[in-house]
Amino acid sequence: MKRNYFVLGLILLTFFVISFLTNIIGPLVPDIIRSFSLSLTTVALLPFAFFIAYGVMSIPSGVLVEKYGEKKVMSAAFFISFLGAMLFVFTPGYFSYMCSLFLIGAGMAMLQVAINPLLRVAGGEEHFAFNSVLAQFFFGLASFLSPLVYSYLVLNIGKPEGDYSPIITFFESIVPAGLPWISLYWIFGIVSILMVIVIAFIKIPKVELKGDEKVGGMETNIALLKNPTVGLYFLAIFCYVGLEQGVANWMSEFLNTYHQIDPKTGGATAVSWFWGMLTIGTLLGLLLLKFIDSKKVLLLFTAAAIISLAFALFGPANVAVWAFPMIGFFASVMWSIIISLALNSMDKHHGALSGILITGICGGAVLPLIIGWIGDMTSLKTGMVFIFVMLGYILSLGFWAKPLVQNETISLRKKKIITDEQ
């Protein structure tokens, strides 16, 4: 099929929007705590509500895409996101925020499932690898920019010395006094409804799913869930997203608590660079994977992430503000390597396996909650030490992960050689 640049542009924009909405919670945590007088555990329930939606919606989204097609699912996803954002901006409060985040998370899960096969078709199958990297770049770019947008808004809305641009003036007229960060959810709502309109006017090609892209029936999914290897890789994805969101969500509050770094400036900048370094690390990781075995790369980068986390938690302020972003740099290769090792461990049912693995994104719900709970019982620093457990499990992957399909192929080739020699 000929490349469709309009649809490709829409997909890249969708990746950007998904990331912008997904990864803004971290910089907001200190403001959320103060605005609603929350404990560490109760504030951690907010990212839990967002990421648990991935666990709930990932597999059903695959069924919806197969039944109704990508266009309808994408439109529905953005409309659900719009409803979630509007629920919060019109009724700001802790419980409405939790419901809002669940709805936005459900929409983002639907989009993640819909756009990946569409990227292959719209961008041309021969360009799929390049377009996937480009999509990740847009994803990382949005994560880098969103904390900076947050800083600009909260430092200017309602401040006499602030910037009196039309945007700031507009938000001052609609945002409650003392809650300038809610302006971000007005932006989310506006962007979401604009995406619904854009999708309505773009002709999206029908995607014929390959066998390894299909979700699979209930029997297939149950059989895979009973497979111990699938469980181990699911746990790896769970740990990866958990550590990513655990660091991103608690970094700003940690810097504020232990180093008195303003979350609106230094904290937001650190979170921004966490995602920026993760994006840069992805590009370096792709280069290294051309020359070094993926398990060795995983071992090297995970060990470096463990060292960076130690410096971030136990080092002085000037070290911590850079050690936290470096965790993002070294975590950059983990997702792609874990996914590739998992898919390479099975010779069929890759679509169903992908759905199960994507469900592991709910780790982003659980680990920040565990950190908050431990933080309330002891201290936030002690809670964040739990991230070492996640990194330790990912490190173990470099020792026990076996590409069974590849090994099977090599074994068959050896048998053939022996047979030919005989």
Tokens 């396996």 identify what position? Answer: 353
Residues 268, 252 contacting (CB under 8 angstroms) = yes
Tokens of 28: 């907001």
Q: How far apart are CA 154 and CA 169, in angstroms?
A: 13
Q: What is the pLDDT along the chain (422 residues), one digit of tens a residue?
A: 556 778 888 888 888 888 888 778 888 888 899 889 999 999 999 989 988 887 788 778 877 887 888 889 999 999 999 999 999 999 999 999 999 999 999 998 888 878 877 777 777 666 665 677 677 788 888 888 888 888 888 888 877 766 678 888 888 888 888 889 999 999 999 999 999 999 988 887 766 655 555 555 566 667 766 777 788 888 999 999 999 999 999 999 999 999 999 998 899 899 999 999 988 888 787 778 778 888 888 899 999 999 999 999 999 999 999 999 999 999 988 887 887 787 777 666 666 677 677 778 888 889 999 999 999 999 999 999 999 999 999 999 888 877 544 444 334 343 443 334 33
pLDDT of residue 383: 95
**DSSP conformation class of 262:** -
Tokens of 101: 């985040």
**Distances from the Cα of 237 to the Cαs of 224, 225, 303, in angstroms?**
16, 15, 17
Q: How far apart are CA 406 and CA 415, in angstroms?
A: 14
Tokens of 67: 């039944």
- HSE of 247, CA atoms in CB hemisphere, 13 A: 35
pLDDT of residue 419: 39
Residues 369, 41 contacting (CB under 8 angstroms) = yes
The string of DSSP letters for 363-400 reads HHHHHHHHHHHHHHHS-HHHHHHTHHHHHHHHHHHHHH
> What is the three-class DSSP state of 183?
helix
Q: What share of the chain is helix, strand, coil (3-state, %, to 5)?
A: 85, 0, 15
Tokens of 106: 């459900």
User: Residue 395 CB: number of other CB atoms within 10 A?
Assistant: 17
How deeply is 311 buried, as exposed, middle or buried, from its count of CB atoms within 10 A (0-12, 13-18, 19+)? middle
Tokens of 65: 């895409």
Q: Which residues of 154-181 are buried (b: 16+ CB within 10 A; e: fewer)?
A: bbbbbeeebeeeeebeebbeebeeebbb
The string of DSSP letters for 121-138 reads HHH-GGGHHHHHHHHHHH
Residues 264, 129 contacting (CB under 8 angstroms) = no
Tokens of 13: 């924009």
Q: How far apart are CA 68 and CA 63, in angstroms?
A: 9
pLDDT of residue 136: 75
Query: What do you get for the CA distance between the two ends of the chain, in Å?
Result: 47
pLDDT of residue 351: 61
